[in-house]
Amino acid sequence: MPATEKSATDSSDSVTIHWSPNLSVGVAAIDGDHRALIDLLNALAAAVAGAGGHGDITLKLDELIARTEAHFRSEEEIMAREHYPEAGHHARVHEALLDEIRQFRSDHLAGTDIGPEITEFLKRWLISHIIESDKHLGGYLEGRGVG
Ligand SMILES: [Fe+2]
Ligand SMILES: [Fe+2]
């Protein structure tokens, strides 16, 4: 685990992610989206941890999925516009993540207890995707003067 990942997720509360500057990709619009996704993920974690019922978890999942879809579309539009060489691979990673979240949602609606593993999975996924892929994109965009 990279040091940045640990410091980004290190917290006395095991389900809450706190934003930290080492998560910045250097592009304000993308950082703003990531902060919103972290807020929604924390809200989902709280619902799963017991503060909300089945319907509340569904609502939080739907909000997270919708915001994630919008964010991925936005990144993919930027990648296409700026001729990012790794756009195809990056978009496939996005789609794989959405498939996983939608599967969690289906399981939840089918009555399976999705438990804390969904938030652990999403937390790990979001942080590693930001650090490994989105930061690479951010560096490319900065090099083209997009901030
Ligand atoms: Fe991305
Ligand atoms: Fe992103």
**42-80 pLDDT per residue, tens:** 999 989 887 678 999 999 999 999 999 999 999 999 999
Per-residue pLDDT, 3:
38
111 CA to middle of ligand 1, Å? 30
Ligand nearest to the Cα of 71, by number: 2
Residues 6+ apart with CB under 8 A from 146: 27, 78, 82
Give the residue-averaged pLDDT of 31-44: 94
In which element (H, E) is residue 146 found?
A: none
Residues 6+ apart with CB under 8 A from 124: none
3-state secondary structure of 58: helix
Show the domains of the chain with their CATH numbers.
25-143 (1.20.120.50)
The pTM assigned to this predicted structure is 0.86
User: Smallest Cα–Cα separation from 91: which of 78, 106, 103?
Assistant: 78
83 CA to middle of ligand 2, Å? 17
Q: Read off the pLDDT of residues 79-107 as tens digits, 9 standing for 90 and up.
A: 999 999 999 999 999 999 999 999 999 99
Q: Read off the pLDDT of residues 124-146 as tens digits, 9 standing for 90 and up.
A: 898 899 999 999 999 999 999 98
User: Smallest Cα–Cα separation from 44: which of 5, 7, 16, 13?
Assistant: 16
Per-residue pLDDT, 38:
93
- pLDDT category, 11, cuts 50, 70, 90? very low
17 CA to middle of ligand 1, Å? 18
